[in-house]
Structure 1
Amino acid sequence: MPRVRRFLSVLRDDLEVARLRDPAARSLIEVALGYPGVHAVWTYRLAHRMWREPGLRLAARLLAQAARAATGVEIHPGARLGQRLFIDHGMGVVIGETAEVGDDVVLFHGATLGGKTMHHGKRHPTLGDGVVVGAGAKILGPVWIGNGAQIGANAVVITDVPAGAVAVGVPAKIRTVSRDSPLIAADVDDPAIYI
């Protein structure tokens, strides 16, 4: 019974974070029925549990592919996702097999957590807690994105990004924002505003 309660609590957290982060969300039922990012995360959670059982890996991959067809979001069942991940709109989001995503992360549509090599081992990014990845951004390779970092829309990140930093451009460069600025990270919903 504790497992079922924990599972239901995680599902509720996924709904709540979508409702809180998206100003267009009017109710939990609307989020549960109409948010492909939430559906993709829920399907991932089941596929990830299956992936951990060697005999179910093929079934896990097939479930992930069905979710991709239904939602436009591709999450490899081997990826490790934290709590309260919010994928806004969802279409075109890709999360590779060795990607690791912390808690309270936001990914906008078209974001990629991808690889840049075909070698075995760690080849996808690691995102800390509270990271925001803008629309169309690409984070490639086994790079580290620190807690609270923001990745601007359409940025291409191929090197580590320190905690609290803002990375924009192709290739992405770190932009610093004065703590006295009216545009401090806590007040900015769209990292592209720094461009």
Structure 2
Amino acid sequence: MLSVLRADLRAKQVLYGGDGPPVSLPRALMADGTLAVLLFRCQSALSGLGLAPLALLPHLLNKWFNGCVIGVHARFGPGFVLIHPIGVVINSSVRGGCNVWLESSVVIGDNRGRSPVLGDDIFIGSGAKVIGGLMVGDGARIGANAVVLKDVPAGALAVGVPAACRPGVNEDR
């Protein structure tokens, strides 16, 4: 769990460093969203050990202190960053790869028992909704307030309501 938390903090350092060098570890620790990710990682560890009822404690703390709800069985790889956790809602059956970055008020939800699977190096903008049994390919970007109801190919940019994809987005976050 500690190695995953270190990867999460390194990703946050890169994010906050922008185009320059990564920011300091203390700044990354004090940044918005760090407590939310820490509580999520605790809940995931407890759930992974078969202690799902105990995992509800960090789940509730996250809800109360950070205003976000992440399902107890949701899983994300190293480098998970909640840029601003307020309003984030993630279904318990969501799976995400490495380096998934989420802005505020993102909803990643279930539709008819099926939830999204997110690849690696994903960015989801503020207010976006990703709903149903779809795939978001590696390196994809989802624009603010987009409503994604269909697969997003690797490297694509999804924008609009409902979201349409523009291929070949190779820009940095």
Q: 1:173 aligns with which of 152, 164, 167?
A: 164
Task: State which of 25, 33, 39 in structure 1 corresponds to 2:35.
Answer: 39
Matches for 1:28-107 after TM superposition, within 5 Å: 28-32=25-29, 34-54=30-50, 56-107=51-102
The farther-off stretch of 39-48 and 125-134 is: 39-48
Secondary structure of 1:113's match? strand
- Distance (whole Å) between structure 2 residues aligned to residue 84 and residue 166 of structure 1: 20
Change (3 A) 1:127 1:98: same
CA distance in 1, matches of 2:5, 2:71: 19
Cα distance in structure 2, aligned partners of 1:14 and 1:146 = 20
| Separation (CA, whole Å) in 2 of partners of 1:99 and 1:109 | 17
Instruction: Name the structure with the higher helix share.
Output: 1
Q: What are the ranges of 5 or more consecutive residues in structure 1 without an aligned counterpart?
A: 1-6, 178-183, 190-195
Alignment partner of 1:150 is 2:147: no
1:108 equivalent in structure 2: 103
Indicate the SS of the match to 1:185: coil
TM-score norm. by structure 2 comes to 0.89
- Could you tell me which amino acid in structure 2 is paired with residue 20 of structure 1? V
Secondary structure class of the residue paired with 1:160: coil
For 1:103 and 1:130, how far apart are their aligned partners in 2?
A: 6
Return the offset for 1:17. 1.1
Contact kept, 8 Å, 2:83 with 2:101, in 1: the verdict is: yes
Q: CA deviation at 1:147?
A: 0.5
1:13 equivalent among 3, 7, 11 = 7
Do 1:128 and 1:145's aligned partners in 2 also have CA atoms closer than 8 Å? Answer: yes
Bigger Rg over Cα? 1
SS in 2 for 1:22: helix
Once residues 69 and 144 of structure 2 are traced to their aligned partners in structure 1, the CA distance between those partners, rounded to angstroms, is 19
CA RMSD, 1 decimal? 1.9
Q: Which runs of 5+ in 2 are unaligned?
A: none
CA 1:19–1:28 in 2, change beyond 3 Å: closer, same or farther?
Answer: same
Contact 1:108/1:133 (CA < 8 Å) preserved in 2? yes
Task: Give the letter for the 2:82 counterpart.
Answer: I
Distance in 2, Cα, partners of 1:74 & 1:91: 9
